[in-house]
Amino acid sequence: MNDDFKLPENCADMRDVRAGVDATDRELMELLDRRFGYMRAAARIKPDRAIVRDEARKRAVIDNARRDAQDRSLPAEPIAQIWEMLVETSIDYELAEWDRIRA
């Protein structure tokens, strides 16, 4: 897959759009890989499995995403729902990593 792509404002046809979406999806996956790396680090650092789930932190992360989406004129509530799933998936991953490290 070619990593050359045009920014949205420079797209002339659907081929350009699709190339940009595909490139952006690859970048998102790289960012998710890094985010889950932080979950592995947290699992390694946190001394107690019971503190993996932090509801206050979860709310703050989702609220930050909602606010950032609003500031960018993006659909804030659906993005907050995506972040809810992302955070829950991250917590599940961190719990599994915590268990794996200490097995």
For the segment 33-38, the average pLDDT, to the nearest whole number, is 98
Binding residue per annotation — 55? no
Binding residue per annotation — 97? no
- What pLDDT digit, counting tens, does each position of 20-33 carry? 999 999 999 999 99
DSSP string, 66-91: HHHHHHTTS-HHHHHHHHHHHHHHHH
On the question of pLDDT at 1 being above 50, the answer is no
The whole-number pLDDT of residue 4 equals: 86
Domain boundaries along the sequence of the chain: 8-101
Binding residue per annotation — 84? no
Single out the residue of 13, 29, 32, 16 nearest to residue 4, CA to CA: 16
Higher-confidence position of 4 and 76: 76
DSSP string, 1-58: -------GGG--SHHHHHHHHHHHHHHHHHHHHHHHHHHHHHHHH-S-GGGS--HHHH
pTM of the model: 0.91
On the question of pLDDT at 2 being above 70, the answer is no
Binding residue per annotation — 6? no
Query: What would the CATH number be for the domain defined by 8-101?
Result: 1.20.59.10
- What pLDDT digit, counting tens, does each position of 37-73 carry? 999 999 999 999 999 999 999 999 999 999 999 999 9
